[in-house]
Amino acid sequence: MLTFYKKEVYYHNLTINDLIFIILFLVLIVQTSIANSFIENKRWKKLSEQNKSMRKELNSREGYLQLFFDHAKDAIAVFDLNNHIIEVNHAFEEMYGWKREEIIGKCISFVPQENREDAELRYREVLKGVSFHSIETQDMKKDGSYFDVQITLSPIYDYDGELVALSAISRDISYKKVAEKLLVQSEKLKIAGEMAAGVAHEIRNPMTVVSGFIQMMNEDKDQPYYEYTKLIQSEIERINYIMSEFLILAKPHITKRIRYNFKHTLENIIILFEPQLNLKGIVLSKQSLSNDVYLFGEENQMKQVLINIMKNAIEAILDDGYIDIAFDDLQTGVMNLIITDNGVGMDTSVLEKLFDPFFTTKEKGTGLGMMISEKIITEYGGHIFIESELGKGTTVTIQIPYEEE
């Protein structure tokens, strides 16, 4: 059976009010869309500006950090967790002598062998997140030379707080160590000077009386104690010599400053030591000064410096040897007098104490000769440097201002 349905069609005539309503509704939709678009565009623009500002700030911060890294006066090195070098700055290249391209990606030790155990312990602690600030130690340059440094070691974390690298900031404090050494030396000079001023004259007075009676006794060579009194006299002379050096040490400055020809002074000292040099078979080679060189100070004190150095050189030579006297870098106003011998030399421990009061390696030494020599040269406005190696000899360099005729 077939059934047919007939769909009814309804018609509705729109009134003017309906049209107005539809138009208003469409206008409202359009206005709402436009307003939403404007708001979204404004918000998007604001977000874009914020992102741009954040990127600019980030780039600026990274730029400042890069500028700090590149131009810092302290040496900065960054290591990965396997101790390979990631980056170094220009100050590091200058301080350690390595070029950046030579060491990036490599594991290179900048620590002397004797300090490596302590360095490895610090490295392991930094891997645990521990920082070390202003540690004073020694590092090693590319050429193998040591220098004093102050090091700060720190861990480096990423934004998630994970340890990703290590940093080492090094500051050369060699100048500081030199200043501290000079300060200690100055204090030692002060103490020795105070001792000299307070004791020397008091000792000399009774010793003069004792010496006078001993000399009277020595006039009779037949007296039974002549050998003993002769020995006592020699020891009294030695005590007087020590007191003389004490008194020189106690002087606050050069008391008699005159202008004299150093060339003549040096020649007189060489003549003084010629018999002793010939007796020991020591060959003396001397570079002559082409022009007269004048110093301004007390000539006798300069003679004492030269005598101390020549005596030390002669006594250091056990067998046939040589002493060389030369002048280097005779620039305007500065003279470098270099005295070299091939004697027994000195090790580092002796060199470090050479200018200390009463330090001596000689059986009958006073331990004041080099200390007084340094004081005299300093009063001339100069410096004295000593280089030595055990078994290979010693080189003494006196750098001092001078005048030409």
Q: Which of 172, 202, 217 is a domain's end point? A: 172
Quick one: average pLDDT of 40-61?
64
Q: Structurally, how many domains does the chain consist of?
A: 4
Mark whether 95 and 112 lie in a shared domain.
yes
Strand, coil or helix: what is 261? strand
Quick one: average pLDDT of 66-86?
82
Q: Give the tens place of pLDDT for each residue, 194-214.
A: 666 667 667 777 777 787 888
Please state, for a pLDDT cut of 70, what percent of the chain lies above it: 78
Query: Given a cut of 60, is residue 1 above it in pLDDT?
Result: no
Q: Give the tens place of pLDDT for each residue, 98-115.
A: 898 888 988 888 888 888
Quick one: average pLDDT of 260-271?
86
CA 297 to chain centre: 31
- pLDDT at position 7 is 46
Which CATH number characterizes residue 183's domain? 1.10.287
- pLDDT at position 4 is 45
**Least confident segment among 108-112, 188-192, 285-289, 309-313:** 188-192
Mark whether 89 and 6 lie in a shared domain.
no
Mark whether 331 and 210 lie in a shared domain.
no
Mark whether 315 and 243 lie in a shared domain.
no
Distance, CA of 298 to CA of 80 (rounded, Å): 61
- pLDDT at position 255 is 55
pLDDT band for 278, please (50, 70, 90 cuts): confident
pTM of the model: 0.47
Residue type, 29: I
Distance, CA of 72 to CA of 97 (rounded, Å): 16
Mark whether 196 and 155 lie in a shared domain.
no
Beta bridge partners of 172: 149
Q: Which of 139, 157, 172 is a domain's end point? A: 172
- pLDDT at position 190 is 67
Distance, CA of 206 to CA of 240 (rounded, Å): 11
pLDDT band for 396, please (50, 70, 90 cuts): very high
369-379 helix and 226-250 helix, angle to the nearest 10 degrees: 30
Which CATH number characterizes residue 348's domain? 3.30.565.10
Mark whether 161 and 87 lie in a shared domain.
yes
Mark whether 23 and 123 lie in a shared domain.
no
**Least confident segment among 248-252, 337-341, 382-386, 392-396:** 248-252
Quick one: average pLDDT of 35-62?
66
Q: Give the tens place of pLDDT for each residue, 293-306.
A: 888 888 878 888 89
Structural domain boundaries, residue 238: 174-252
Q: How many angstroms separate the first and last alpha carbons of the chain?
A: 148
DSSP 74-122: SEEEEE-TTS-EEEE-HHHHHHH---HHHHTT-----S-GGGHHHHHHH
Mark whether 384 and 262 lie in a shared domain.
yes
- pLDDT at position 19 is 75
- pLDDT at position 14 is 61
Please state, for a pLDDT cut of 90, what percent of the chain lies above it: 6
The larger pLDDT score, comparing residue 369 to residue 129, is at 129
Mark whether 43 and 119 lie in a shared domain.
no
Mark whether 393 and 276 lie in a shared domain.
yes
C-alpha torsion sign, points 154, 159, 165, 170: negative
Q: What six digits make up the tokens of 11?
A: 């018609």
Mark whether 224 and 357 lie in a shared domain.
no
CA 150 to chain centre: 10
pLDDT band for 3, please (50, 70, 90 cuts): very low
Query: Given a cut of 70, is residue 252 above it in pLDDT?
Result: no
Q: What six digits make up the tokens of 359?
A: 């330090």
Query: Given a cut of 60, is residue 12 above it in pLDDT?
Result: no
Q: Which of 107, 139, 172 is a domain's end point? A: 172
Distance, CA of 123 to CA of 132 (rounded, Å): 10
Task: Compute φ and ψ for 88, nearest 5 degrees.
Answer: -135, 155
CA-derived radius of gyration, the chain: 42
The larger pLDDT score, comparing residue 63 to residue 243, is at 243
Mark whether 123 and 162 lie in a shared domain.
yes
Task: Compute φ and ψ for 19, nearest 5 degrees.
Answer: -65, -45
Q: What six digits make up the tokens of 322?
A: 């040589």
Beta bridge partners of 178: none
